[in-house]
Chains A and B, each alone.
Chain A
């Protein structure tokens, strides 16, 4: 009898746990318009991810599939760069996306702010896009 009661209590506890987590998830989903967080805490459908998606959707329309694209985040803390890059790679699966400077890129996307020297060396501005700036490598 004691065993049954203990297992029953565990089931009750896990049920309450599920309800609490579901409630939290639904509440945050309802408030997702205000989900302004660091990129390691972005979620699909959250505003920062949607803004990056809008920028990269415009980039995808301009750069040919398979292009090498470097992502620069000069206005963000350096430790965030990896997360921005991973999101950008996910949102541009047909292109080769990496952090600017990791390899030679045909195109560079600068998130939120334009690039300044010396990052501008060998690049020429191509287009201002929603929330970002697109550069193309100057041909040698």
Chain B
């Protein structure tokens, strides 16, 4: 373990957060607290980094610190161009409570264990970490490596944000230091806990529920992250993306919300294959809300569709193009819809639901259909329900040997992508004040 590498990993996220903050004029709503602004800025910085790396790959320019430094300057300059609007002042001030203390405790416990390497997820060994190391060595996305027929098992067709972050962390640190890579997971964890806390505040939860909800998300997810050995997994990205989308989906649709949804959606789509539909669902829901609101106001506008959809499209289209060009899509990923698998699939789901590492929290992932009922959580629930349906669509269309084993091997992790945000939405629906428009929203 190298202390310098750990500092480098933390510094990279701080730098990305700073770069994202250059776009504060369009990314921060008056209702957003400081912590949540930090979340959105960091995610925006990460998406910006991904776009820069994608451009470099298309231009056949090797990744290096000077090139990335120049790109950072370019991003900062672009930020200056949009900063003319001025940054909206936050209407609520941060106040520390007992739930925050418990969340920090959970984060600390998880971080120590993650950095030790002992709770590293096997998929970090099998593909995420390996890809990151290969990209670091190749100083770019190593398409010849991904193309090898024997690499079918490492999901060569997946979007590359996760290994890219590992590779850039290694570039900054000067070597591929595993604890530094795993520290990134702890950062993502901290970000999604902060996003969930904000969701509770903007959802109108009282002080007790804000603190209890923050603690609940942090403690239950840390327990799962340790018990199911999740350090280095890509599922943290999706949990973060959905949690970050909760505040703009809970408040009435607004232009800042369009940009925030765009960032969350692009972040999800760049991270993992199931993040692509998640990103699409988030954008779709936001567009429908905006159109509904603008029609109701007599001024229908498609501008929100452009705002919310452009960034995810900039992520997804190059990925689709490169993956198709290099023949990376795997035939077993899609086959005919076979309802006959239902018995095996649901047996696997039933077994997974009581997985010890979840301590009974996994059924929370099935709350989205119920959360469609309260008006306040309907937008979030629509996106989450569609994602839940997508998981099952995959189970019924992917060709594998044993569906029970297939479900058992990934269902607890898929649940993890939904559960933090679902807990927040459920607490908002169940316990928050009845006002449909929380104070401070636009």
* Chain A residues packing against B (C-beta within 8 Å): 3-4, 7-8, 10-11, 13-15, 17-18, 20-22, 24-26, 28-29, 32, 40, 42-45, 82, 86-87, 89-90, 93-94, 96, 98-99, 102-103
Q: Tell me the smallest distance from the CB of B342 to a CB of chain A, in Å.
A: 27
Q: Is the Cβ of A14 less than 8 Å from the Cβ of B220?
A: yes
Q: Which residue of A lies closest to B212 (CB)?
A: A7
Q: Which chain B positions have C-beta within 8 A of A11? A: 99, 102, 212, 215-216, 219
Q: Would you call B229 an interface residue if the criterion is a C-beta within 8 Å of the partner chain's C-beta atoms?
A: yes
Residues in B lying within 8 Å of A, measured CB to CB: 99, 102, 106, 109, 113, 116-120, 122, 125-127, 129-130, 133-134, 137, 145, 148-151, 153-154, 176, 178, 208-209, 212-213, 215-216, 219-220, 222-224, 226-227, 229, 357, 359-361, 427, 430-431
Whether B219 lies near A17 (C-beta < 8 A) is: yes
A21: contacting residue among B99, B134, B223, B360, CB under 8 A: B223
Partner of A45, one of B109, B118, B130: B118
Residues of chain A within 8 A (CB-CB) of B213 are 7
Please give 15 more A-B residue pairs, beta carbons under 8 A apart, in addition to A44-B117, A98-B150: A7-B209, A7-B216, A8-B212, A11-B99, A13-B360, A14-B215, A17-B219, A17-B223, A21-B226, A25-B118, A26-B113, A29-B116, A29-B118, A43-B229, A102-B150
8 Å CB contact of B226 from A18, A82, A93: A18
Q: What separation, in Å, do the CA atoms of A90 and B357 have in the docked complex?
A: 26
Question: Contacts of B209 on A, CB cut-off 8 Å?
Answer: 4, 7
Task: Kindly state the separation between the CA atoms of A11 and B214 in the bound complex, as whole angstroms.
Answer: 9
Question: Which chain A residues border B125 with CB–CB below 8 Å?
Answer: 42, 44, 86-87, 90
Which chain B residues border A15 with CB–CB below 8 Å? 102, 215, 219
How many angstroms between the C-alpha atoms of A89 and B153 in the bound complex?
12
**Shortest distance between the CB of B239 and any CB in chain A (Å):** 16
Min CB distance B406 to A, Å, is: 15
| Residue in A15, A40, A87, A98 with the greatest tally of chain B CB atoms within 10 Å | A15
Bound CA–CA A138/B174 (angstroms): 38
Whether A20 touches B223, Cβ cut-off 8 Å, given contacts A3-B430, A7-B427, A10-B216, is yes
Cα–Cα distance between A3 and B208 once the two chains are bound (Å): 11
> What CA separation (Å) do A43 and B357 show in the bound complex?
17
A26, chain B: closest CB distance, angstroms? 8
Q: Give chain B residues whose Cβ lies under 8 Å from the Cβ of A45.
A: 116-118
Residues of A within 8 A of B361 (CB): 14
Known contacts A7-B209, A11-B102, A44-B117; A21 and B137 CB within 8 A of each other: no
Q: How far is the CA of A114 from the CA of B125 in the complex (A)?
A: 26
Give the contacting residue for B134; candidates A42, A93, A102; CB below 8 A. Answer: A93
- A4 CB, min distance to chain B CBs, angstroms: 6
> With the chains together, A44 CA to B178 CA distance in Å?
10
What chain B residues lie within 8 Å of A29 (beta carbons)? 113, 116, 118
Contacts of B427 in A (CB 8 A): 7
B243 CB to nearest chain A CB (Å): 16
**Which residue of B has the minimal Cβ distance to A18?**
B223
